[in-house]
Amino acid sequence: MTTEQSLLRSVVRGVGSYLPAKTLTNDDLARMVDTSDEWIFQRTGIRERHIAAPGETTSMLGEKAARAALENAGLAPEDIDLIIVGTSTPDWTFPSTATQIQAALGVTHGVAFDLQAVCSGFVFAVATADKFLRSGSHKRALVIGAETFSRIIDWEDRTTCVLFGDGAGAMVLEARPSMGAMDERGVLTTHLRSDGRHRAKLHVDGGPSATQTVGHLRMEGKEVFKFAVGKVTDVVADAFAATGITPEQLNWFVPHQANRRIIDMSAQKLGIAPEKVVATVHLHGNTSAASVPLALSVAVADGRIKKGDLVMLEAVGGGFTWGSALIRW
C-alpha cells in the first residue's frame, strides 16, 4: 500500500447491553446451597447476578443488546453487514446464534456467524471483526457477547453456581479511513492466544459429539485463578509493545469480569492504576463473553469512557484462551 492511500481502521460507533430482569442475590443463593453473602463477596467481589427467564434464549438477550448498541450508534439494522457473536451457550447446536439475531433484526444481507472462545469470546470477536473491516470486505460490524450460563450451571455445586450469570453486550464497529496514527480513533492493535492443554481446569462435561448431552460447567478454581493472574497479562504487554503506549497513558482498563481479586491483581501486575480499572463484576457476576461489553456499556453510559480515550480490553477463558484489544475510543 502506498503512502498516498489511506488505511482503514475499525472505529467504535456505539455500545449497548441487556441484562435479564430476574436478579439472584448472594442471599438468595445462601438459601439454595451452603454459602453466604460474606463468603461469596470476600472471595469474588460478586453481590448479584441476572438469570434468564424460562424461554429467554441467548439470541434474545443478544438481540436486545444489539438494538441498544445500534441506537447508541445512531444506526439501523440495515446498516450492518457483519455480525459476530461470541458465545458458549448458543440457542441451538446449529444454526448459529448470530444468524438468529440477524433474522430477529430483519437483516437479510451480509454475513453472521458465532465465535467460540468462552470468556474471551468478545475480545476474539472484536479482533476478528477488525480484520474483516480493515480488509475492506465489510463496512460495519455488530460484535456481540451473549450468554445464558445459568443453563449449564450445576446449581448444587457451590463453588461454581455463585460465580456466573446471564447477559449480553454489543459494540458497533465501522471501517473508516485512517493515516495509522496512534492518536486516531479505532482499534489500534489486538493480540490473541490459546493453549489447549488446560481443558480439565475449566470445561463443560458434555457436548454433542462426546456425550450427546449439554453437560455442566466444571472448574478447578485455584488453577484458573493462578493462570489468569500469572499468564494472561502477556497479551496486554504485547499491546503496549506493539503501539509504544505505556500503562500510564492508558485511560481505562476493561478486563473480563470474572473475579474482583483477579481484576485487581492483574492491573497491579501490569502497572495500571486502580482508578483506571472498570469493574462491574459485583453487578452481574461472570457473564463469560458478555462481561467485557457489559462493563464497557456501564462505563460509557456513566461518562467515564469518552471519545479519544485509550481503552484496553482483556479477557481469559476456558481452553485456555486469552486476548487483548487496545482501542482509541
The per-residue pLDDT for 230 is 87
CA dihedral 136, 137, 142, 144 (to 10 degrees): -110
Between the alpha carbon of residue 19 and those of residues 49, 192, 251, 257, the distances in Å are 9, 27, 26, 15
CA atoms of 322 and 329, how far apart (whole Å): 22
The per-residue pLDDT for 231 is 81
Reduced to 3 states (helix: H, G, I; strand: E, B; else coil), residue 244 is coil
Q: In terms of Cα–Cα distance, which of 267, 272, 279, 173 is closest to 228?
A: 267
- Catalytic positions, written as ranges: 119, 256, 286
Q: Is the dihedral of CA 64, 71, 8, 190 positive or negative?
A: negative
The per-residue pLDDT for 265 is 96
Average pLDDT, 10 consecutive residues per value, the chain (329 residues): 67 98 98 97 97 98 99 98 98 98 98 98 98 98 99 97 98 98 97 97 98 98 92 93 98 98 96 98 98 98 98 97 98
The per-residue pLDDT for 1 is 38
